[in-house]
Amino acid sequence: MPILVTGATGTVGGSLVRQLVSTGHDVRALTRDPASPAATALPDRVEVVAGDFARPHTLVAALRGVTRMHLVAMDGYGPLTTGAEILELARQAGVRRVTHLGHNDPSRADDDPIEAPHRPLHRAVENSGLEWTHIFPGEFMANTREWAAGIRTEGVVRAPFGDWNSALVHEADIAAVIVAALTEDGHAGRVYQPTGPEPVRRRDAVRMIGEAIGRPVRFDELTPEQAREYWKDHYPTEVIEWFLEMGRHPDGSGWVAPDVEQVTGRPGRTFRQWAAEHADDFR
């Protein structure tokens, strides 16, 4: 029976698909556009199906014959609002196990304006009647790809908070935790928070990318005001304010969780390794 992977064309989902295929599992990949370059680049053995979370009934065909699925909580930058409906369709189709990749900052209250919109989905997963596992990672190493254009064209990264210290996590480690939760017993009702193995300051991440591509990259630190202006065409206002609010606490994300090593049996990959693997994105 295939494992249904939603978000299969994304950063974590792509790694998840490759890891499942390489360990002999049949994978069905959901995408809104099976003809997109990201979908056509999926491994040959993967069955690609169309479906859109915004219209849950479009997932009915994708769910047929599936007992395990991975749900990415994507709806633009906001939380997935159709999660309860999708999970009910999944239950009716015979799905028994779900991994849920989403957002949660345990240090913030349930009524925090950034956190509150995500909570209904968390509850929907927990009340779905399925064996569930929440995956709430730290900041992705892959987020640094937003610097790629500036590095390629000018050799510069412009961002606020150079001392922001974050245990950036490799997408393959998040995916490895999800593989374990989907394919092994013993993960039901667990909440995993994959992080990287060490905190990395933003200015050090820039330096390591420079080392990976073999030429120095300058870090121009923006003030919060400059960052607002710089990001205004790329992110919604509330997302910018969230980034800035996080950045005001320099050690806010430096916390290293043991989950990757505990679940997968090996330490998380470092940012240096990620930068070497992804150097071509910045060249």
Ligand X SMILES: NC(=O)c1ccc[n+]([C@@H]2O[C@H](COP(=O)([O-])OP(=O)(O)OC[C@H]3O[C@@H](n4cnc5c(N)ncnc54)[C@H](OP(=O)(O)O)[C@@H]3O)[C@@H](O)[C@H]2O)c1
- Which residues of this protein are in contact with ligand X, per CB under 6 A? 6-13, 31-33, 36, 38-39, 52-54, 72-74, 101-103, 137, 139-140, 143
CB of 263 to ligand X, least distance (A): 16
Based on CB atoms, which residue is closest to ligand X, 10 or 247? 10
Q: Which residue is nearest to ligand X (CB)?
A: 10
Dihedral angle computed from the Cα positions of residues 129, 100, 6 and 183, in that order, rounded to the nearest 10 degrees: -80
CB of 163 to ligand X, least distance (A): 19
CB of 68 to ligand X, least distance (A): 18
Based on CB atoms, which residue is closest to ligand X, 32 or 190? 32
CB of 102 to ligand X, least distance (A): 5
Based on CB atoms, which residue is closest to ligand X, 143 or 223? 143
CB of 92 to ligand X, least distance (A): 19
CB of 191 to ligand X, least distance (A): 13
Based on CB atoms, which residue is closest to ligand X, 39 or 130? 39
Spatial separation of the C-alpha atoms in residues 109 and 250, rounded to whole Å: 20
Based on CB atoms, which residue is closest to ligand X, 21 or 155? 21
Based on CB atoms, which residue is closest to ligand X, 101 or 206? 101
